Chain A
Amino acid sequence: MNEFSCPSCGAAVNFVSKASVFMVCPYCRSMLVRQDVNVENIGKMAETLDENTTPLQLGTEGVYMDKRFALAGRVRLAWSDGSWDEWYAWFNDGSHGWLAQAQGFYMVSFQVPNVNLPEPSTLIVGNRIDLEVGFDGRSYRVDDIKKTTCVVAEGELPFKAPKGRNGISVDLGGPDDAFACIEYSEDGTRFFEGRYMEFDELKLSFMRILDGW
């Protein structure tokens, strides 16, 4: 059951991903949380997305590792030196992941459950950490540690993302463009693994029209 009507404005809203639990109503900007059979309105998302120069938008499609994906939601995270967007992407094989765009780089990653993660206080930028992931485990370099706040969200998301949701985001890098991220937040610690991607590799379509480009 993915179709609901918005409890605030009555518009038909549709969760495209089964994993989504949160949505911003595209018509009235109410923040909706999916319960078992209905949705609960937890308030209005007051902030609007101050449009930047990104070519990404809800509905943009692309390819990662021969799997097609579409962007279903976005959360903008602010830190002391700016902000970046995390796009919630759902894939045609039923999986879902994230496409992050920051400082002109694109990173695609997927959550990997059940990984023992270090405390954020033990991490130092430039140091290497070994994680028990995959067959032999993997070694990553700590690239940056950022205190984040959710400023605004749109579309659907797999977690509740009201404004002010705080967290710590740690970017990790490895050889061959490997990318990983640890996210420490109020409702737990999560680990994501993936790759840095070139724009051309993502074969994006249904992009936003950028005037003048």
Chain B
Amino acid sequence: MDGDPPSPEPQPEPPPVRRGLLREFTCPSCGGTVTIRAAGNSITAVCSSCDAIIDVTDENFRILSKAKMQRRTEPLIPLGSRGILFGKTWEVIGYMERSDGSWEYLWQEYLLFNPYHGFRWLINDHGHWNFTTMIKDDISVVLPVYEGRTYDKYLAGGARVCYVLGEFYWRVKDGDEVSVKDFIHPPYLLSYEKSEDEEIWSHSVYMEPSEILRAFPSVEELPAREGVAPNQMSLLGKAYPGVMRVFLLTLAALVAIEIVIRFTSRNEVAWSGTVHYDSHEPNKTVLTPKFELKRYMADVVIEMSAPVDNSWLESEIALVNADNDNTVHVTSGVEYYHGVDGGESWSEGSNQRKIFLSSVPAGNYYLAVDTAADARIPAADYTVRVIRDVVPLSNFMLAVLAVSAFPLITWWRRRAFEVKRWSNSDFSPYANTSSDHDD
């Protein structure tokens, strides 16, 4: 199966068209020359000068249709062009413009021929390209799984021929109608076409416009892509599984590190005691006994808890290293207010406060505490605790947040791409979640 995306290496030039296999005859309608590139295979050919559709299998080249077709667009890849796709040379021999039921939505199909390998299609749907192979496999009995891939139903609709050019291996008719069902597994698409007397399955692989340009060097420019194609792969979509794998691994590593840290951290109380405050001695500094902070470098939490009740209390705490007088100043206050207002009780603040100090060196320390308080507190005893080697949860949370940012953005953008992909489908799994219909 040539379903693998092509390699980005520069392609060799396709061999030039030689006249050897070409057949020419005179159009019975206008006398112009009609060229046949797939003699023996082609059943119908369209005269490029007068649009007559001619039965090539008939000795007299019977005219099947003489109606002038409404010409819509010229082929972007001219008939007779050769290009190398998936390592094989293909010649454009037919061109067909089709539309859905609306007659407004048009797309173009190029019939490709190689005398050894048969027929393929290149389909251009609003700047998006598909390389399509007809399959004879009876896959309706195995769907939704085909060749190990699970396909999602994308579309059920119709297609009708608006304009034809070149030659075809079936009896092509302007206005031919088929019903169509599409199933996707990006970058692949399975398509089912049913007409009165035929059922055809085909398998497509999405192609980047740059791959088409590389295959057909004579084509200089292709139209820009509109929207997202049913089986288009986003770059993000390709990277997504990798991003998620790295994310989950990183997350697992973070959890493991956090567990190790929590098991090895001492989280011990270095000092705990009561500080007395008396409004009569407002400027008295309370000195605590010395205590030891162990472990070379570690975090410290100073925790205070005061019996405030509709009042406040504030401490200026100096953490002094008794060995070298290095000091860290901390201001920590608590306030707690509550009451009843209009029948509803309320409260704000708390009588507890924790101050976090990171990377405090080991040594002998003491605290020097100055207290100020609400005039309503004449005197109070409040608790101060110095806790050594604490592991704050916030470190872990910050780390998780940091590593989640990119995957989250990736997930969101991928989802936005998928919503867009499914916006033209009647079977969108996002149909109920996306409120904005972009028409």
If the complex has contacts A52-B40, A213-B15, A213-B21, are A81 and B139 also in contact, measured as CB distance less than 8 A? no
Q: Looking at the complex, which one of B118, B137, B140, B198 makes contact with A125 (CB distance below 8 Å)?
A: B198
Q: Are the C-beta atoms of B198 and A52 separated by less than 8 Å?
A: no
If the complex has contacts A53-B38, A125-B197, A212-B21, are A176 and B137 also in contact, measured as CB distance less than 8 A? yes
Q: Is B138 an interface residue (CB 8 A)?
A: yes
Bound Cα distance from A211 to B19, whole angstroms:
8
Q: Are the C-beta atoms of A173 and B21 separated by less than 8 Å?
A: no
Q: Looking at the complex, which one of A53, A78, A196 makes contact with B41 (CB distance below 8 Å)?
A: A53
Chain B residues near A (Cβ < 8 Å):
15-21, 38-41, 43, 57, 89, 113-119, 136-142, 169-171, 197-199
Bound Cα distance from A83 to B171, whole angstroms:
13
Q: For residue A143, which residue of chain B has the nearest CB? A: B136
Bound Cα distance from A177 to B142, whole angstroms:
12
Q: For residue A126, which residue of chain B has the nearest CB? A: B199
Q: Is A55 an interface residue (CB 8 A)?
A: yes
Q: Are the C-beta atoms of B115 and A55 separated by less than 8 Å?
A: yes
Q: Are the C-beta atoms of B21 and A174 separated by less than 8 Å?
A: no
Q: For residue A139, which residue of chain B has the nearest CB? A: B141
Q: Looking at the complex, which one of B15, B57, B139 makes contact with A82 (CB distance below 8 Å)?
A: B57
Q: Is A103 an interface residue (CB 8 A)?
A: yes
Q: Are the C-beta atoms of B138 and A212 separated by less than 8 Å?
A: no
Q: Are the C-beta atoms of A173 and B39 separated by less than 8 Å?
A: no
User: In the complex, how many angstroms separate the beta carbon of A162 from the nearest chain B beta carbon?
Assistant: 20
What are 6 residue pairs bridging A and B, where the CB atoms are less than 8 Å apart in the complex?
A53-B21, A83-B40, A125-B197, A173-B136, A199-B118, A212-B18
B171 contacts which chain A residues (CB < 8 A)?
A: 81
Q: For residue A144, which residue of chain B has the nearest CB? A: B198
Bound Cα distance from A175 to B142, whole angstroms:
8
A140 contacts which chain B residues (CB < 8 A)?
A: 138
User: In the complex, how many angstroms separate the beta carbon of B244 from the nearest chain A beta carbon?
Assistant: 34
Q: Are the C-beta atoms of B138 and A175 separated by less than 8 Å?
A: yes
A88 contacts which chain B residues (CB < 8 A)?
A: none
Q: Is A137 an interface residue (CB 8 A)?
A: no
Q: For residue A202, which residue of chain B has the nearest CB? A: B116
Q: Are the C-beta atoms of B115 and A210 separated by less than 8 Å?
A: yes
Q: Which 10 interchain pairs have the tightest Cβ spacing?
A: A52-B40, A104-B118, A211-B20, A212-B18, A53-B115, A104-B119, A212-B20, A82-B43, A141-B138, A52-B39
Chain A interface size range: 20 to 34
User: In the complex, how many angstroms separate the beta carbon of B395 from the nearest chain A beta carbon?
Assistant: 57
Q: Are the C-beta atoms of B136 and A210 separated by less than 8 Å?
A: no
Q: Are the C-beta atoms of A83 and B57 separated by less than 8 Å?
A: yes
A196 contacts which chain B residues (CB < 8 A)?
A: 136-137
A198 contacts which chain B residues (CB < 8 A)?
A: 117
Q: Looking at the complex, which one of B18, B38, B140, B142 makes contact with A211 (CB distance below 8 Å)?
A: B18
User: In the complex, how many angstroms separate the beta carbon of A120 from the nearest chain B beta carbon?
Assistant: 15
User: In the complex, how many angstroms separate the beta carbon of A150 from the nearest chain B beta carbon?
Assistant: 15
B119 contacts which chain A residues (CB < 8 A)?
A: 103-104
Q: Are the C-beta atoms of A52 and B197 separated by less than 8 Å?
A: no
Bound Cα distance from A173 to B40, whole angstroms:
24
B40 contacts which chain A residues (CB < 8 A)?
A: 50-54, 83
* Chain A contacts with B in 191-213, Cβ cutoff 8 A: 196, 198-199, 210-213
Bound Cα distance from A159 to B368, whole angstroms:
115
Q: Is A135 an interface residue (CB 8 A)?
A: no
If the complex has contacts A52-B39, A104-B41, A211-B20, are A173 and B115 also in contact, measured as CB distance less than 8 A? no
A176 contacts which chain B residues (CB < 8 A)?
A: 137
Bound Cα distance from A117 to B429, whole angstroms:
46
Q: Are the C-beta atoms of B137 and A177 separated by less than 8 Å?
A: yes
Q: Are the C-beta atoms of B116 and A55 separated by less than 8 Å?
A: yes
Q: Is A178 an interface residue (CB 8 A)?
A: yes
B136 contacts which chain A residues (CB < 8 A)?
A: 105, 143, 173, 177, 179, 196
| Given A105-B136, A210-B21, 15 additional A-B pairs, CB 8 A | A52-B40, A53-B40, A53-B115, A81-B57, A81-B171, A82-B41, A82-B57, A104-B117, A104-B169, A140-B138, A177-B137, A198-B117, A199-B116, A213-B21, A213-B114
A83 contacts which chain B residues (CB < 8 A)?
A: 40, 57
